[in-house]
Every structure is written in structure tokens, then in C-alpha cells.
Amino acid sequence: MKISIIIPAFNEGKTISKIIESLKKVDGFHKEIIVVDDASTDGTYKKLQDTKGIKVIRHPKNLGKGSAIRTGIKSSSGDYVLVQDADLEYDPQDILTMIKPINQGKAEVVYGSRFTGSRRNMFFWHWMGNQLLTLVTNILYNTTLSDMETCYKLIPLKLIKSLNLRAKRFEFEPEVTVKILKRGIRIWEVPISYAGREYHEGKKITWRDGIPALFTLLKYRFVD
């Protein structure tokens, strides 16, 4: 299996090198690492230019996380795609857990659930927002996910390219999830670890991002 690992990065100069090195140390599958710099202004792009063994794409202006992921998908050549945030919240070693159901022929799409594995507790309102969006997903699309908003989604490249994704920002997670479910594909979840970072460490998502996510869930229930 070859996995295209897409890292959308905006002003992640403090951690980008660490996450790339962590990814390189994970054995057990072939990988290509694609970093999409979303017009960073903190020196992230300079660090990427000095890093070997990765593919770097730079947006001339900031377009949002969803746009960066879609750019990465277009440049991917793996059998599967996985998004890796640059902020060290997700442990690349957990990718090995995620590929097991696929290698065993049990699953086509695998999500890493932050709520069934070991974790450093996140903010209460972030937890509530995640639970609400996951509950709405389960009700509208007749499924039983525990973590719809997880970053760790292992999806066949052919499948994700066929979904006609349009998300520009953080609504990428609900859009890709509901479009997979509407294809009749059941998502396999495995437990992963999670170490949420604080706002002073650079965390970007806020409660406001939950509003377009909720709208996305409702919209795609009735349109393609």
C-alpha cells in the first residue's frame, strides 16, 4: 500500500519539521508526503524548501484548510490518502493501526477515533461541538460514528477524487464524510491517541467553524 499523506499548513513553522520527521520514521507502508503551504507568513515555507524527501506546493494566497487538502489530493499518487495536521495533535504511529482493517479486507475507508483511544482532554466546548456534529451525522445518514470530525481519515485516492469536494475551510470533514456515506460505504473506526493543543500554541479552529460544518451536514442530506 502506498499512502499519500497531505499536510495542509498555515503558519506552522514551530512544528512542521517535527511532524515531517515523525512521518518519515513510520514504517510498514510506502508513503509520499505532500505539504501544501497555504500562504504562511511565519517562515513555514522556507523550512519546507530546506526539507528533503517531500513534495511542497504553495498557495499564493490563503485559501483555507479544505482548499489546501483539495490541492494535495490533485497531486497525490498513492493508493490511499490521509490528511495529517501539522500541529502534533495526531501521532503518525497510529497510521499503522488504521491500515490493518484494510490489509485484512475488512474495510474500504477507515477513520481514527479520538474518543475511543488514549487522549489528553480537549476543551469542553470543542468536545461538545464534536459530539453534536457527530450526532447530527449519525441521525441524518443512519450511521454510528464516534468521531466524524477526526483529521485521520484513510480513504482510497480513486474514491476521494470522485467525490467532487468543494470545501474551502474546516467544513471539509463533514463534506467528505457524508459523501462517502451517501455512496453506501460504511466507515470503519479504530482508536487513536490525541493530544489537543491550546490556542496559545497555535490552535486555529473555533466554535464559529461549527456553524458551516452543521450547514454542510444539512445541505448534503438533500443535494449531491
pLDDT at 122: 65
| DSSP letters spanning 177-192 | HHHHHTTTPPPEEEE-
- Can you name the residues that pair with 8 across neighbouring β-strands? 36
- For 81-118, what is each residue's pLDDT tens digit? 999 999 999 999 999 999 999 999 999 999 999 998 76
The reported pLDDT for the residue numbered 200 is 42
What's the CA gap between 34 and 189, in Å, rounded?
A: 24
Q: Which domain holds residue 179?
A: 2-222
Question: Distances from the Cα of 2 to the Cαs of 102, 161, 195, in angstroms?
Answer: 12, 16, 26
- Taking residues 125-149, report their average pLDDT: 92
Which pLDDT tens digit goes with each residue over 187-201? 999 999 998 755 444
Question: Residues 23-51: pLDDT tens digits?
Answer: 999 999 999 999 999 999 999 999 999 99
Closest alpha carbon to 112 in 7, 192, 28: 192
For residue 64 the three cell numbers come to 483555507
What is the average pLDDT value for the chain, to the nearest integer?
92
CATH number at residue 74: 3.90.550.10
pTM score of the predicted model: 0.91
Say if residues 78 and 55 touch (Cβ distance below 8 Å).
Answer: no
* pLDDT score of 125 more than 90: no
CA-to-CA distance for 157 and 119, rounded, in angstroms?
29
In the chain, the number of structural domains is 1
